[in-house]
Amino acid sequence: MMSEIFSVAFITGLIGATLRMSTPIILATLGEIITERSGVLNLGIEGTMLFGAALGFLTTLATGNLWLGVFVAALGGIALSLLMAVLAVYLGLSQHVSGLGITLFASGLAMFIYRLVVGSPIVPPVITPFTPVAIPLLSRIPILGGSFFTQYSLTYITWALIPLVSIFLFKTRAGLRVRTIGQNPFAADTVGVNVNLTRTLSLAAGGAFFGVAGAFLTLAHQNMFLIDVIGGRGWIAIAMTIFGNWNPLMGAVGALIFGFLDAFQLRMQTLGVDLPFHIFLMIPYLITILALISVSRKATVPAGLLKPYRREDKGG
Provide the minimum distance between the beta carbon of 189 and other proteins in the complex, in angstroms, as a whole number.
6
Kindly state whether residue 193 participates in binding other proteins, applying the rule CB under 8 A. yes
278 vs 298 by CB, closer to other proteins: 298
CB neighbours (10 Å) of residue 198? 21
Window of 46-54, 148-156, 187-195, 281-289 that interacts with other proteins by CB under 8 A: 187-195
20 vs 37 by CB, closer to other proteins: 37
- Size of interface with other proteins, in residues (CB under 8 A): 26
Judged by CB under 8 A, the chain residues 147 through 186 that form the site for other proteins are: 171-177, 179-180, 183-184, 186
Angle between helices 248-270 and 233-243 (to 10 degrees): 130
> What would the 3-class secondary structure string for 234-303 be?
HHHHHHHHHHCCCCHHHHHHHHHHHHHHHHHHHHHHHCCCCCCHHHHHHHHHHHHHHHHHHHHHHCCCCC
> Could you give the C-alpha distances from 194 to 157, 177, 190, in angstroms and in order?
31, 9, 9
Provide the minimum distance between the beta carbon of 38 and other proteins in the complex, in angstroms, as a whole number.
13
64 vs 163 by CB, closer to other proteins: 163
Distance CA 207, CA 82 (A): 8
Name 11's Cβ contacts closer than 8 Å, sequence gap at least 6.
none
86 vs 301 by CB, closer to other proteins: 301
Q: Please give the full DSSP string across 68-106, using - where no structure is assigned.
A: HHHHHHHHHHHHHHHHHIIIIIIS---HHHHHHHHHHHH
274 vs 313 by CB, closer to other proteins: 313
140 vs 310 by CB, closer to other proteins: 310
Kindly state whether residue 310 participates in binding other proteins, applying the rule CB under 8 A. no
Provide the minimum distance between the beta carbon of 301 and other proteins in the complex, in angstroms, as a whole number.
10
One of 189, 250, 266, 269 touching other proteins (CB under 8 A):
189
Judged by CB under 8 A, the chain residues 10 through 29 that form the site for other proteins are: none
One of 3, 190, 270, 294 touching other proteins (CB under 8 A):
190
Provide the minimum distance between the beta carbon of 37 and other proteins in the complex, in angstroms, as a whole number.
11
**Over the range 93-131, which residues count as b (16 or more CB within 10 Å of their CB) and which as e?**
bebeebbebbbeebbebbeeebeeeeeeeeeeeebebbe
Kindly state whether residue 192 participates in binding other proteins, applying the rule CB under 8 A. yes
> Could you give the C-alpha distances from 102 to 80, 86, 107, in angstroms and in order?
7, 12, 8
168 vs 225 by CB, closer to other proteins: 168
Judged by CB under 8 A, the chain residues 281 through 300 that form the site for other proteins are: 300
Binding region for other proteins (CB under 8 A): 171-177, 179-180, 183-184, 186-194, 300, 303, 311-312, 314, 316
